[in-house]
Amino acid sequence: MIKDYYQILGVDRDAGPDALKKAYRALAHEHHPDKNPDNIEVAEEKFKEISEAYSVLSDPDRKRSYDMTGSPTGDVGGGFGGFRTTGDPFDIFRQHLRRQQPNPPMRGQSLQIPLEITLADALLGAEMSLEYHLNSGCPACHGRGGTEFETCSVCNGAGFTQTQQGSMFMQQGCSQCRAQGQVVKTPCSPCKGRGIVPETKNINIVVPPGVMHGNTMFLQGQGGAGFNGGSPGDLQVVVQLKYPDMDKISDEEKEQLRSLLTK
């Protein structure tokens, strides 16, 4: 089935480059997947269709072929037998580029911190408070680094750029927007555009009875904030057993230790 690229962009067939670009930017902004988190699959499909239409109509040679034959490649017989057009031949590369973005979701940093406990804590178990420092996602911008975004002017929101080498077309992720199709218009003030802020966290740790020096307790998701929608890292708490100086404790304390060791 031949697609009506003019209808997709909502422009007349005699629309010039400026009108095409204006229509594309407005639609790309409206249907960008980041703007439609509740209906992301439909948004991705619509965004792909809009990008396909603009990539054809903004290229003079492909637009000329499309206007003459209904196909951006010049294929004819759109609805006949084996000559049916499949639309933009670069569409498969767009999908691949979206899956292979240069900044995919990255898991946050896992942290390792020591926890000093007494011999009694090791023998009987204990519950204690632990304070540590980490980088958390900025609450003001939800970790995105900005409060306002605009369509990338280099790739026009497509997330990739295209160059021609002889008869070959090469596509690569847009370096300006890191293949996102959008750039920060207004950097977030609290995090200075980084998307993360330093935080001091205080959590309760339950030390199980019988723990030994050097044992590690893993707390999932309590580490540093992830990037590009990645999950947070873990927290590794390494037990440091503080042995008492037997020359400095009283006979009563020595007796208490003996009773603990024989339980």
Distance CA 67, CA 180 (A): 30
pLDDT of residue 248: 65
- pLDDT tens digits, one per residue of 189-232: 998 888 888 999 999 989 888 888 888 998 888 888 887 667 88
- Average pLDDT of the chain? 78
* C-alpha pair distances (Å), 178 with each of 45, 98, 143, 146: 20, 11, 16, 15
**Residue 198 burial by CB count (10 A; 0-12/13-18/19+): exposed, middle or buried?**
exposed
Name the pLDDT band for 256 (thresholds 50, 70, 90).
low
CA distance 45 to 39: 10
Q: Which two tokens stand for residue 54?
A: 């603009």
> Model confidence over 227-247: pLDDT tens digits?
766 788 899 999 998 876 666
Output DSSP code: residue 232.
Answer: P
Which part of the chain has CATH 1.10.287.110?
Answer: 1-89
Residues of the chain with CATH 2.60.260.20: 111-143+198-261
* pLDDT winner (highest mean) among 58-67, 94-103, 124-133: 124-133
**What are the Cα distances from residue 259, in Å, to 120, 143, 216, 263?**
11, 53, 27, 6
Q: How far apart are CA 119 and CA 181, in angstroms?
A: 57
Q: Are 97 and 159 in contact (CB under 8 A)?
A: yes
User: Which pLDDT score, from 0 to 100, does residue 194 have?
Assistant: 83
- Spatial separation of the C-alpha atoms in residues 68 and 2, rounded to whole Å: 13
Tell me the mean pLDDT in the region 10-26. 89
Q: What is the pLDDT of residues 101-114, one digit of tens each?
A: 445 667 888 899 99
Query: Is residue 146 a contact partner of residue 193, using CB atoms and an 8 Å limit?
Result: yes
Task: Indicate the fold that domain 1-89 takes in CATH.
Answer: Helix Hairpins (1.10.287)
Q: What's the pLDDT tens digit per position in 170-180?
A: 777 788 887 77
C-alpha–C-alpha distance, residues 249 and 256, integer Å: 11
Count of other CB atoms within 10 angstroms of residue 241: 16
Compute the average pLDDT of residues 64-82: 55
Q: Region 2-9: what's the mean pLDDT?
A: 85
| 111-143+198-261 maps to CATH 2.60.260.20 | yes
What is residue 94's predicted lDDT score, i.e. its pLDDT?
Answer: 47
Strands 196-207 and 126-137: antiparallel
